[in-house]
Structure 1
């Protein structure tokens, strides 16, 4: 079974903390596109250390707010960079961009509805 865009158990746990969750989503939406661009730049420069670092840090941020599919993409990207496999890294980055778009859409809808 494919994981949810944002873990429903996480969303349930945050139900009583809606203002805090909205702030977390707003920060994610405002800050993470820059990190995605930095990941892309690191890949184009073939800067494997920076790529690994950026994937790792985004993985932590995604895990904190229940964005499990993004976290998985980051883990795969981090592992590909550790293996110095840039072909795999490109595939994982494409998946990451796709999952980030879904996460942003989920968050924008949540913010609009609440």
Structure 2
């Protein structure tokens, strides 16, 4: 994926709202691992509707703070759910976990530097 981990234009637009960004990133880091676990559980139990709902809510959360690649993964995961394609969803889950790791790393660095 050619997109940045966190959209730099978004970060620039938030430059004068660093405390807000730091709070948003902190919440993301503390809460999203639980949601990722729920997504994995829904996937392994084949609960497509729950999986779609969780992917949709994570997509919204990611979009709010400019985490474009996670948002994109969630969109694809949502579409796979709508199509009932669990094999595709499994593959996308791997992508999503990798992008979440990238996002956490970016956020930890951001928090350390600001």
Q: Which TM-score band (shorter chain)?
A: over 0.9
TM-score by length of 1: 0.99
Between the aligned partners of 1:53 and 1:103, the Cα distance in structure 2 is 21
CA shift for structure 1 position 13: 0.6
SS of the equivalent of 1:23 reads helix
Unaligned runs of 5+ in 1: none
Between the aligned partners of 1:91 and 1:65, the Cα distance in structure 2 is 25
What is residue 5 of structure 1 aligned with on the other side?
5
Runs of 4+ in structure 1 deviating by more than 6 angstroms, as ranges, are: none
Between the aligned partners of 1:27 and 1:13, the Cα distance in structure 2 is 20
1:31 matches 2:31: yes
What is residue 88 of structure 1 aligned with on the other side?
88
Between the aligned partners of 1:91 and 1:79, the Cα distance in structure 2 is 13
CA shift for structure 1 position 21: 0.4
User: How many pairs align?
Assistant: 114
CA shift for structure 1 position 91: 0.6
1:75 matches 2:75: yes
Between the aligned partners of 2:55 and 2:107, the Cα distance in structure 1 is 21
Q: Deviations over 1:80-109 (max 9, x none)?
A: 011010000001110000000000000000
CA shift for structure 1 position 30: 0.2
TM-score by length of 2: 0.99
SS of the equivalent of 2:5 reads coil
Unaligned runs of 5+ in 2: none
Q: Note the aligned Cα RMSD (angstroms).
A: 0.7
